Amino acid sequence: MEAKHTLSLFVGQRRVALLVVAWMLSMSIPVESKAAWTAATGPVQPKVSGNRLVDARTGRVWTPHGANWPGLEYSCVQGWVATLPPASMSTAASWGMDVARIPLNQDCWLGEDGAPTAGWTMASYRAQVKLWTDAAHAAGMVVILDLHWTAPQGTRAEGGQRPMADEQSAAFWSSVASAYKDDPSVMFELFNEPCSCGQRTLSWDCWKNGGCEMPNGIEGACSNEPPYTVTGMADLVAAVRAAGATQPILLSGLNYANDLSQWLAHKPDDAQLVASWHNYKGQGCSNANCWNNEIASVAAGVPVIMTEFGHEPGDVGYFTVAMVWADSAGIGYLPWAWWDQSNANNTPYALYTGNDYAPTDEGNAYKQHLATLTSGEEEPKEPGNNTEVAQPEEVKKAPSSGCVSAGSASLVGLGFVLALVLFAKLRRRTLSRR
């Protein structure tokens, strides 16, 4: 009986010693597990880090893939209410999309120049924007709010796009940024497609600083229109930041967002800027040679997103070629557009048709390509231009290699010594009782 008691006491004491060792190991060894880098729940929270976007929660590189959701830029001045079809966002997410670009109307948001028209109020328009944004987030998608239709004071924003932002655009962005400054999964695209119009040329200097005059006419109808004074990108960026919003800001280049040739030289001074690029067949930069020379050079300095491109009727392969090239350059993309082809004059620039979201030709090409990609988030890694990828604060505190540091090794050694001393004392007590 005494021998059995002595044996159980010895075993119990040995377990105590082992527990001490285990405790010392757990307190002293920093473990950088794979779980630390698993994607957090909900949509990505984008942040610019060097020339890539990362998820601010995890530090993982994020290459966005999504689509455009038209409707709110024009329905509010056409007398009908654009509603979000059931399962619209969740179906897109099931294809592999993780970002929704939502075009907006300046006058409808601000309640200016007789907008919005019948069926809407300023409050209901803003509520609809929020509803679409929340639906995207619920489906796990980031939202890009894009200023698409504008007009200077005294003219309603209808009929199409104007060449560049006007004196009301800073107020628009101040208001939108104030409304969404606390939503880390929203980004702001300050003007859809800056362009020259009629006899007036939009220069890169005016693109940045404003002050030049452009015709108050929509695309293709600029010749005889009176001019308005342009508000430049620098003032729009300042309006967003003054509202307290810190999220990434997208700036489109010239020539309907296709020309990024002097984007880097003229970008405003802000650490969270993204170049927005549109890529349609027939535009000035619509071949691999230009992409490699012009677009890739911008992508080496800042993140680039192809926020519009499409399935070209005369060259259906162009769509896939553009995606494959963008993949190789670390550039995300969003085709035009996620709307029902049967309700959009059978445009080839539509990803689905019918209430069951059956893929169109463009949709099939896109859905199949997305299926070949891995998750939109990648392991943390150094971008090609030696910029640092942000890591979450709790991970930064541990050695990035996951190895034991010198200080940790000392604690581990001390733990073993203490455990061995305790073990020896307990064993001597056990033997003395025999």
What pLDDT does residue 225 have? 84
Where is the domain boundary, 375, 405, 423? Answer: 375
Same domain, 410 and 350: no
CA angle (179 as vertex; 175, 180 as ends), nearest 5 = 120
Same domain, 217 and 274: yes
Same domain, 87 and 226: yes
What pLDDT does residue 376 have? 57
108: nearest Cα among 158, 170, 183, 179? 158
Residue 245: CATH number of its domain = 3.20.20.80
How many angstroms separate the Cα of 189 from the Cα of each of 47, 186, 194, 357? 14, 10, 12, 27
Same domain, 144 and 242: yes
To which residue do tokens 């929704």 refer? 100
What pLDDT does residue 414 have? 42
Asked, for residue 370, whether it belongs to a domain, the answer is: yes
What pLDDT does residue 118 have? 87
Same domain, 269 and 344: yes
Asked, for residue 169, whether it belongs to a domain, the answer is: yes
Asked, for residue 44, whether it belongs to a domain, the answer is: no
Range of the domain at 305: 64-375
What pLDDT does residue 126 have? 98
Could you read off the pLDDT of 401-410 as tens digits, one per residue?
A: 333 333 333 4
pTM: 0.80
Total domains present in the chain: 2
Asked, for residue 383, whether it belongs to a domain, the answer is: no
Asked, for residue 362, whether it belongs to a domain, the answer is: yes
Amino acid at 133: T
CB atoms within 10 A of CB 55: 26
Question: What size, in residues, is the chain?
Answer: 434
Distance CA 119, CA 341 (A): 24
132: nearest Cα among 171, 183, 169, 172? 183
Same domain, 9 and 74: no
Same domain, 407 and 325: no
Asked, for residue 220, whether it belongs to a domain, the answer is: yes
Same domain, 350 and 418: no
Same domain, 401 and 368: no
Same domain, 255 and 367: yes
Distance CA 278, CA 165 (A): 18
Asked, for residue 236, whether it belongs to a domain, the answer is: yes
Same domain, 403 and 367: no
Asked, for residue 57, whether it belongs to a domain, the answer is: no
Same domain, 371 and 401: no
Taking only the tens of pLDDT, the chain with its 434 residues reads 444 344 343 334 444 444 433 344 334 433 333 333 344 799 999 999 999 999 999 999 999 999 999 999 999 999 999 999 999 999 999 999 999 999 999 999 999 999 999 889 999 999 999 999 999 999 999 999 999 999 999 999 999 999 999 999 999 999 999 999 999 999 999 999 999 998 899 999 999 999 999 999 998 788 778 999 999 999 999 999 999 999 999 999 999 999 999 999 999 999 999 999 999 999 999 999 999 999 999 999 999 999 999 999 889 899 999 999 999 999 999 999 999 999 999 999 999 999 999 999 999 999 999 999 975 565 554 444 433 322 232 222 222 333 333 333 343 344 444 444 444 454 444 444 44
Q: SS3 string of the chain?
A: CHHHHHHHHHHHHHHHHHHHHHHHHHHHCCCCCHHHHCCCCCCCCEEEECCEEEECCCCCEECCEEEECCCCCCHHHCCCCCCCCCCHHHHHHHHCCCEEEEEEEHHHHHCCCCCCCCCCCHHHHHHHHHHHHHHHHHCCCEEEEEEEECCCCCCCCCCCCCCCCCCCHHHHHHHHHHHHCCCCCEEEECCCCCCCECCECCCHHHHHHCCCEEECCCCCCCCCCCEEECCCHHHHHHHHHHCCCCCCEEEECHHHHCECCCHHHHCCCCCCEEEEEEECCCCCCCCHHHHHHHHHHHHCCCCEEEEEECCECCECHHHHHHHHHHHHHCCEECCCCCCEHHHCCCCCCCCEECCCCEECHHHHHHHHHHHHCCCCEECCCCCCCCCCCCCCHHHHCCCCCCCCCHHHHHHHHHHHHHHHHHHHHHHHHHHHCC
